[in-house]
Amino acid sequence: MQKDRNQIIQTENSLLAGYAVLQDETGGREYKEEEHPYRIPFQRDRDRVVHSSAFKRLQYKTQVFVYSVGENYRNRLTHTLEVAGISRTIASALGLNSLLTETIALAHDLGHTPFGHAGQDMLSDLMGEFGGFEHNKQSVRIVTILETRYPEFPGLNLSKETLKGMMKHGAEYGGSNLGKERKDEGPSLEAQCADVADEIAYTSHDIDDGLEMGYLKVEDLRSLSLWAETSEMVKGKFPKLDGKVFVRTVIRELTNSMVSSMIQTIESRISDWKIRDRSDLNTAYQEGKRIATYEPSYGEKVRELKSFLYKTLYRHPSVVVTSDRGRDIIETLFFHFRKQPDSIPETYKRRIEKEGLERCVCDYVAGMTDRYAEEMASSLRK
């Protein structure tokens, strides 16, 4: 028997905790649409993100290593998929709306520039006098304005609860009502889980890629508490294991350890702080309480690991060279299109009068893949 939309929502809601976002608590959409007969709102949001042009371009955007160094390293798309998987695991274990969490995770990096954080930093500098640039805000801009896939509205017309989940603490969102709601109410626990899943994913997979590239050494990782403890646990389970399989097993167990610690800590705080519904979550937020975080001693071990990655991998001379090259490319493209706005595609150019030349140039350059940006900059230098 085929279930209709209301039956599906009822079934899904019956599995959720009192502090979860229910499947029909979407806040609506900016542009009114008819509901689908058997696809529920957050499912439609997820599918719209996955089918977007910005999502497809993530496969050619840098995570840590540019696409040209090889095909076995994470890019912005594979990172996003790992975040989505981890976020759904955490949400499901806690009785949260895993579909909403997954959707937020899939959308969280849509606004990332080519060349990773180096590209973002360069665009932030260039846009300093013109409203600034931050990739999380750009992600919201993409799904509300820049995507052009539907005849009835700009952007993807996502549910308001999804949009609030994409907004980050402390950022300003053009004085929008949603931005104010997000600031006043605080993030849903689903959004918080997507945030911590992002951190868990990049901490684990950057170790994997760094070792594969030879920029990290196993002997250096042994000095870190979390790596040492996890290695000993793996040795106890598989005493004869060595080589790459051993290392990958340690990384997998490390990921599981961080996920499990996060779930246990969130569950403990929900119990200790008597969180029963979303109003209790909002109260905790207003009191400055962080629910989605590690227990202090474990969190210190994670920070030690992240500090090591920053100093050893992200500041590795070879990574710095490629980052600097990416910054130079972004700068070249920005000033070229600023001087020659007629060469900007029409979809960006037609908003210049309303939003300003620099913002439209920024939108165009931020949306480029690494490969396209490199080819474009190379053609300008000839």
- Which pLDDT belongs to residue 173? 61
Architecture field, domain 39-381: Orthogonal Bundle (1.10)
Instruction: Calculate the dihedral angle through the C-alpha atoms of 202, 203, 205, 209, rounding to the nearest 10 degrees.
Output: 110
Task: pLDDT band for 16, please (50, 70, 90 cuts).
Answer: very high
For range 258-274, the mean pLDDT: 96
> Where does the pLDDT of residue 170 fall: very low under 50, low under 70, confident under 90, or very high at 90 and above?
low
pLDDT at 96 over 60: yes
Say which residues have a Cβ less than 8 Å from residue 14's Cβ, sequence separation at least 6.
none
Cβ distance 49 to 110 under 8 Å?
yes
CB-based contacts of 12, cutoff 8 Å, min separation 6? 23, 40, 99
Q: Which of 171-185, 199-213, 284-298 has the lowest mean pLDDT?
A: 171-185
Q: Would you kindly state where each structural domain of the chain is located, as residue ranges? A: 39-381
In percent, how much of the chain has pLDDT > 70? 96
Alpha-carbon span 242 to 247, nearest angstrom? 7
**Three-state DSSP class for residue 62:** strand
Three-class DSSP category at 54: helix
Give the CA-trace dihedral at 259, 87, 85, 200, to 10 degrees.
-50
Mean of pLDDT values over 311-339: 93
Nearest-10 crossing angle of helices 317-339, 370-381: 60
Residue range 254-282: mean pLDDT, rounded: 95
